[in-house]
């Protein structure tokens, strides 16, 4: 049985349907393109990639292998969702970067920008530490849900207002290991 079929079965028991939105092939091709764009734009600069855990894990691991530059990786973690499908609108640092970002060329890597509250908080916070430059790379963006608009320098895909799982994104802690991006819907 495929991982999608297994996920579909288990989600049905929770009253949800699960359908592929972006295939593994499309995801990987786009991530490789983003890597090429970043490689081109950051020539001659040392890059500090800062991933927003936990959703960035799969995206970031593929992205950094597509970037042909000297780079360092760090991670931070904030909470903005409570394991469900709705934002609490509250952002809190659970884990900060392990190295100072002052004077560095920082690229923040995020799985999805939904309301924009998390990213706008992170940008504001990191700017106070005076990086040499600060840019954003997001795999997904849901413009229909925007509360705080944020600049996205590198974007994988724009999607409609779906709740999505897979390729690092979870629902109640699960389904991060799906290779594609799938949309969840309540069974009518
Ligand atoms: P924002 O602050 O932009 O509303 O939300 C950012 C965070 O919410 C993302 O990093 C992600 O963890 C979570 N999130 C937003 N939309 C989705 C979604 O469709 N699926 C999943 N799994 N998480 C989401």
With H, G, I as helix, E, B as strand and everything else as coil, classify residue 93: strand
Catalytic residue among 114, 153, 170, 186: 114
pTM of the model: 0.93
Give pLDDT, residue 87. 56
User: What does pLDDT average to over the chain?
Assistant: 92
Atom in ligand 1 nearest the alpha carbon of residue 115 = 4
What does the pLDDT look like over 64-118, one tens digit per residue? 999 999 999 999 999 875 545 555 567 889 999 999 999 999 999 999 999 999 9
Comparing 91 with 32, the larger pLDDT belongs to 32
What is the distance in A from the centroid of ligand 1 to the CA of 115? 8
Q: Rounded mean pLDDT of 52-75?
A: 97
What are the pLDDT digits (tens) for 126-159?
999 999 999 999 999 999 999 999 999 999 999 9
Higher-pLDDT residue of 16, 41: 41
The CA 92 to ligand 1 mean position distance, Å, reads 14
Is residue 114 annotated as a catalytic residue, yes or no?
Answer: yes
All structural domains of the chain with their residue ranges? 31-82+94-184
Residues sharing a CB contact under 8 Å with residue 58, sequence separation 6 or more, in sequence order: 167, 168, 176
Query: Does residue 40 register a pLDDT over 80?
Result: yes
111 lines ligand 1 (CB under 6 A): yes
User: Given a cut of 80, is residue 174 above it in pLDDT?
Assistant: yes
Per the CB < 8 A criterion, the answer to whether 145 and 163 are in contact is no
What CATH code would you report for 31-82+94-184?
A: 3.40.50.2020
Distance 96 CA to ligand 1 centre (A): 19
Q: In what order do the strands lie in the sheet with 71-81?
A: 87-95, 71-81, 47-53, 105-113, 133-141, 154-158
pLDDT above 70 coverage of the chain, percent? 95
Asked whether 66 lines ligand 1 (CB < 6 A), one says no
Residue with CA closest to ligand 1 atom 4 = 115
Counting from 1 in the atom list of ligand 1, the atom nearest the Cα of 165 is: 22
Q: Is the CB of 21 under 6 A from ligand 1?
A: no
For 71, residues 6+ apart whose C-beta sits below 8 A from its C-beta are: 46, 47, 48, 49, 64
In the reported structure, the alpha carbon of residue 67 is separated from the centroid of ligand 1 by a whole-number distance in angstroms of 25
- Residues written for the chain: 188
Q: Are 47 and 71 in contact (CB under 8 A)?
A: yes
User: Quick one: pLDDT band at residue 13, thresholds 50, 70, 90?
Assistant: confident
Residue nearest to atom 5 of ligand 1 (CA): 114
């Amino acid at each position: 049985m495929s991982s999608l079929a297994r996920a579909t079965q288990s989600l049905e028991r929770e009253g949800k349907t699960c359908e592929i939105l972006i295939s593994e092939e499309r995801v990987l091709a786009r991530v490789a393109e983003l890597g090429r764009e970043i490689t081109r734009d950051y020539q001659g600069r040392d890059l500090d990639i800062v991933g927003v855990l936990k959703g960035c894990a799969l995206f970031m691991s593929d992205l950094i292998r597509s970037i042909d530059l000297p780079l360092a990786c760090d991670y931070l973690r904030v909470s903005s969702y409570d394991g469900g499908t709705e934002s609490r609108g509250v952002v809190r640092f659970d884990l900060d970067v392990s190295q100072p970002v002052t004077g560095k060329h920082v690229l923040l890597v995020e799985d999805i920008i939904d309301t924009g509250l998390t990213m706008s908080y992170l940008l504001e916070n990191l700017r106070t530490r005076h990086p040499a430059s600060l840019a954003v790379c997001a795999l997904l963006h849901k413009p229909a849900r925007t509360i705080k608009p944020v600049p996205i320098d590198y974007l994988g895909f724009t999607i409609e207002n779906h709740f999505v799982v897979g390729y690092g994104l979870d629902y109640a802690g699960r389904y991060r290991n799906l290779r594609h991006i799938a949309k969840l819907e309540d069974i009518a």
